[in-house]
Structure 1
Amino acid sequence: MEQIKDEKIVENVKSKDNNVELTTESKENVKEETKTTNETSTETPSDQIYVPNSTLHSMVIFGLPKYLDSKKFTKFLEQNNVPFKKIKKIVKESFGIVSFDSVEDRDKYLEYFQGFQFNDKTKLKTEAKEEKSDRMKRKYEEKELDKKEDNRESKLLTIEEIVCPWYNIPYEEQLKKKKNQIEKVMINIKSTTRKESLHNLPEWLVKRDKTKEEKMCCGLEEIVPSPVTENYRNKAQYTIGYDADNKPCVGFALGRTGNGITIVADPSNAPLISKRSNEIRRLFNEYITEPNLGSNRKPFDKNSHSGFWRQLTVRDFTTGETMATVQFNHKGLTAEELETEKNNLKNYFASLPEEQRITSLSIQLYDGISNSAPVDLAVETIDGPEFIHENLLGCQFRVSANAFFQINTKATELLYSKVLDWAQVSQDTTLLDICCGTGTIGQCISKKVKKVIGLEISPDAVIDSINNAKLNKIDNAEYLVGKAEDTLPTLLTKSNGGKDQEFIGIVDPPRGGLHGDVLKAIRTFEPIKKLVYVSCNQNSLIPDAAKLCKGISKTMKGTPFVPTKAIAFDLFPHTDLVELVVLFERVENNTTTTTTTTTNSDNNLIIQENENEKEEEEEEDKKRKRDENEEIENENNEKKEIKLEN
Structure 2
Amino acid sequence: MEAEPVIAAEPTVEASKEEVDKVVPEEPVENAPKKSDEFAYLDAAGFSSERFKIEIKNLPKYYGINEMKKLLNVKLSLATNKIKIMRPGCPFLFVCFRDDAERQAAIKAIDGYTWKGKKLQALEAKPSPDPLVKRRNESTKPDGVVSVKKRRTLEESVTALAYLSYEDQLKQKQSEMHNVLKGFGDEVWKSCPTMRSYIEEMRKLNDGLPCKLEDIRGSPQVDGYRNKCEFSIGKDGQGEVRVGFRVGSYSNGFLEVESPDQLKHISEKMKSTVKLFEEFVQKSEYEVYSPETYKGYFRQLTVRTSNATGQVMVVIGIHPQEL
The TM-score, its normalising length taken from structure 2, stands at 0.63
Check whether the contact 2:139–2:146 (CA below 8 A) recurs between aligned residues.
no
- Indicate conservation of the 8 Å contact 2:140/2:147, yes or no: no
- Structure 1 SS opposite 2:141: helix
| Cα distance, 1:224 vs structure 2 | 0.9
Deviation at 1:145, TM superposition (A): 2.3
The equivalent position to 1:243 in structure 2, one of 232, 236, 240, is 236
Deviations 1:140-175 (A, max 9, x none): 4332229976664x7332211111122222222211
1:328 aligns with 2:323: no
Task: Tell me if structure 2 keeps the 8 A contact 1:242–1:248.
Answer: yes
1:195 maps onto 2:184 in alignment:
no
Q: Return the index of the structure with the highest Cα Rg.
A: 1
Indicate the larger mover: 266-275 or 323-332.
323-332
Residues 307 and 273 of structure 1: CA distance in aligned 2, closer, same or farther (over 3 Å): same
Amino acid at match of 2:300: Q
> Which residue in 1 is equivalent to 2:214?
221
Gap change, CA 1:95 and 1:259, over 3 Å in 2: farther
**1:217 CA drift (Å):** 1.6
Change (3 A) 1:190 1:97: same
Question: Which secondary structure state, in structure 1, belongs to the residue aligned with residue 195 of structure 2?
Answer: strand
CA contact (8 A) 2:235 2:241 kept: yes
Tell me the secondary structure at the aligned position of residue 201 of structure 1: helix
Q: 2: CA distance between counterparts of 1:158 and 1:92?
A: 48
Partner of residue 98, structure 1 = 123
Contact 2:131 2:253 in 1 (8 A): no
8 A Cα contact 1:239 1:264, kept in partner: yes
Cα shift at 1:286 = 1.1
Distance in 2 between the 1:282 and 1:181 partners?
36
**Cα deviation 1:337-364 (Å, max 9, x = unaligned):** xxxxxxxxxxxxxxxxxxxxxxxxxxxx
Q: Give ranges in structure 2 of 5+ residues lacking alignment.
A: 1-19, 43-49, 61-70, 73-102
The Cα of 1:250 is off from its aligned counterpart by 0.7
Name the CA distance, whole Å, in 2 between partners of 1:40 and 1:332: 12
Distance 1:259 1:40, change over 3 A: farther
CA–CA distance in 1 between the matches of 2:243 and 2:135? 30
Tell me: CA distance 1:225–1:135, structure 2 relative to 1, closer, same or farther (3 Å). closer
Task: State whether residues 85 and 99 of structure 1, in contact with CA within 8 Å, keep that contact through their aligned partners in structure 2.
Answer: no
Whole-Å separation in 2 of the counterparts to 1:96 and 1:203: 41
| Alpha-carbon spacing, 1:40–1:194, altered in 2? closer, same or farther (3 Å) | farther
Instruction: Check if 1:132 corresponds to 2:128.
Output: yes
Q: Per-residue deviation at 1:317?
A: 2.1
Q: 2:290 is matched with which residue?
A: 301
- Once residues 281 and 152 of structure 2 are traced to their aligned partners in structure 1, the CA distance between those partners, rounded to angstroms, is 26
| Amino acid aligned to 2:168 | E
Q: CA separation in 2, counterparts of 1:281 and 1:214?
A: 47
Match of 2:305 among 316, 319, 322: 316
Letter in 2 for 1:253: R
Residues 606-633 of structure 1: per-residue CA shift (max 9 Å, x gap): xxxxxxxxxxxxxxxxxxxxxxxxxxxx
1:51-450 pair list within 5 angstroms: 52-53=41-42, 54-56=50-52, 84=104, 86-87=106-107, 96-99=121-124, 131-133=127-129, 140-145=136-141, 152=148, 155-197=150-192, 199-201=193-195, 204-205=198-199, 207-208=201-202, 211=204, 214-290=207-283, 295-319=284-308, 320-333=310-323
Normalised by the size of structure 1, how large is the TM-score?
0.33
Distance in 1, Cα, partners of 2:293 & 2:196: 56
| Secondary structure, counterpart of 1:236 in structure 2 | strand
Between the aligned partners of 1:262 and 1:206, the Cα distance in structure 2 is 50
Matched residue type, 1:98: L
Query: Alignment RMSD, CA only?
Result: 4.1
Cα 1:280–1:204 shift into 2, 3 Å:
same
Task: Tell me, in whole angstroms, the C-alpha distance in 2 between the residues paired with 1:43 and 1:156.
Answer: 25
Q: Distance between the aligned counterparts of 1:17 and 1:296, measured in 2?
A: 31
Deviations 1:434-471 (A, max 9, x none): xxxxxxxxxxxxxxxxxxxxxxxxxxxxxxxxxxxxxx
Unaligned runs of 5+ in 1: 1-15, 20-33, 72-82, 101-129, 334-646
Alpha-carbon displacement from aligned partner over 1:248-297 (angstroms, at most 9, x marks no partner): 1111112112233221111111111101110111111111113xxxx311
CA contact (8 A) 1:58 1:131 kept: no
* 3-state SS of paired residue (1:220): coil
